[in-house]
Amino acid sequence: MATGLFLFQNDLRLHDNPALRLAVEEVDKLICVYCIPSARANRYPYTISIPAKARWQFLLHSLKALSDQLLLRNQQLLIALEHPLNILPELITRHNVSAIYSSEHVGTYEQRNWQTLMGRYPYIQFRAITTHTLFDRAELPFELNELPSTFSKFHKLVKDTPIEKPIGDITKMPPRPKDVAIFDVLSPLLSKKFTSEFNGGETAGLEQMANYFASSAPSNYKETRNGLDGWDYSTKFSPWLALGCLSAKSVLAALAQYQQAQCEQSGSSDWIKYELMWREYFQWYGHKYGHRLFQFRGIKDSSPNTAFYPERFRRWCEGNTPYPLVNALMNQLRQTGYMSNRGRQIAASCLTNELSLDWRYGASYFEEHLIDYDIASNWGNWQYLAGVGADPQGHRHFNIEKQTDDYDPDRTFINKWGGDKFDGGLDSVDAADWPIY
């Protein structure tokens, strides 16, 4: 009787989950575990360890959905408000676990936890399988340490590389050992009052994908994708992709089906694949550069001329800067946990350029709030915008006035999200901490 343990991370789904499929095929009993991230150690001193409400609730609803799906398959999800290195050793010993399965993770801490467990239990089989990306490492047409330094070079190399089809749903699972104690930690944490357009979980993610491809929006994607507000200008798949409620391969398969059915001439929906390739690039970028993803000097090892001004940073977070568009964007982020791609670029550019702030504080704030927070996409994009990452131009500075004219000419977005709330004066002290009168 082999007992396995499956550690869910950013793969909260039963469709196209080859890591879970392997576990299901190889063991007689299975313990399914998820460790709540807020209980994990702080990433860095400037990182906030408890996610903001929208991100937190999206995660909890996604876990609830996974838990419900597992129950339908006579399984149960053990959700631990614990660091994995606290809970897993106890489970391994008590239940005589002989194999541990998980999805390969891009996070430095997640990888370190995995390595620590491998070191502690040399007699256990450890299987980390790729589930978060379109390719696995062996399918990439280059060695990881030869990942191109820019996206366009990467895209040239991978655009014709075949992508495996997604695998089907897992319909049957081995039972859990009877004496695994499961407590309901979710119910007291789930907020009934919290409402969002984004419902967490695999079923909701698959539904969004089906609805999006049942509409005509994909055929206008390239033209609309830079919008700031609304549901249809972009796919909105990112929160589900980030937690793995949706697989990137399933999105590509649905896109191919859409294109076949529509016989689309414009090629507009092709841009969805192009954007998923950006996601792919940042994932492998994260795998290649590891902890350098979080370093001030980035992968370019160049130092931006920025610092930390607590008051400016607070104003940026609270949507109280001299830039109404940025204020509106930050208010939208705080209230919903989501911001458009164009919005993220403008807000990030403002933080590093207009406000001369250290980009890592901005990235951390996004980490706290974004319901689609994804380590590689967030920190990789921030590095790119701060000029210490994969941008061949070296530096991006968005002209906020021009962006306002282009994307919010009649100030609908600014008015909707209360962007005109600047109370005057960016700094109340000078660089030497003297009050400014």
Ligand X SMILES: Cc1cc2nc3c(=O)[nH]c(=O)nc-3n(C[C@H](O)[C@H](O)[C@H](O)COP(=O)(O)OP(=O)(O)OC[C@H]3O[C@@H](n4cnc5c(N)ncnc54)[C@H](O)[C@@H]3O)c2cc1C
Residues that bind ligand X (CB under 6 A): 225, 234-238, 241-242, 272, 275-276, 278-279, 282, 340-341, 344-345, 348, 366, 370, 372-374, 377-378, 381-382, 385
Q: Which is nearer to ligand X, 8 or 278 (CB)?
A: 278
Question: Least Å distance between CB 345 and ligand X?
Answer: 5
The torsion angles phi and psi of 304, rounded to 5 degrees, stand at -65, 150
Question: What H or E segment, with its residue span, contains residue 326?
Answer: helix 324-336
Q: What is the CA radius of gyration of the chain?
A: 22
Q: How far apart are CA 63 and CA 79, in angstroms?
A: 8
Q: Which is nearer to ligand X, 154 or 366 (CB)?
A: 366
Q: What is the DSSP letter of 318?
A: H
Place of tokens 């499956």: 6
Question: Least Å distance between CB 103 and ligand X?
Answer: 16
Question: Least Å distance between CB 362 and ligand X?
Answer: 7
Question: Least Å distance between CB 153 and ligand X?
Answer: 16
Positions of E strands within 82-216:
99-103, 125-129
Question: Least Å distance between CB 376 and ligand X?
Answer: 8
Q: Which is nearer to ligand X, 6 or 398 (CB)?
A: 398
234 known ligand binder: yes
Question: What H or E segment, with its residue span, contains residue 405?
Answer: helix 400-407
Question: Least Å distance between CB 188 and ligand X?
Answer: 28
Q: How far apart are CA 238 and CA 279, in angstroms?
A: 10
Place of tokens 């079923």: 203
Q: Which is nearer to ligand X, 332 or 381 (CB)?
A: 381
Q: Which is nearer to ligand X, 394 or 425 (CB)?
A: 394
374 known ligand binder: yes
Question: What H or E segment, with its residue span, contains residue 129?
Answer: strand 125-129
Cα atoms in the 13 Å half-sphere on the side-chain side of 225: 17
Bridge pairing between strands 99-103 and 125-129: parallel
Q: Which is nearer to ligand X, 99 or 325 (CB)?
A: 325
Nearest Cα neighbor of 186 from 173, 175, 200 is: 200
373 known ligand binder: yes
236 known ligand binder: yes
Partners of residue 129 on adjacent β-strands = 103
Q: Which is nearer to ligand X, 372 or 408 (CB)?
A: 372
Question: Least Å distance between CB 248 and ligand X?
Answer: 7
221 known ligand binder: yes
238 known ligand binder: yes
Q: How far apart are CA 34 and CA 409, in angstroms?
A: 46
Residue 160 is which amino acid? D
* Cβ contact 306:359 at 8 Å: yes
Task: Write out the binding residues for FAD.
Answer: 221, 234-238, 372-374
List, as residue ranges, the binding site. Answer: 221, 234-238, 372-374
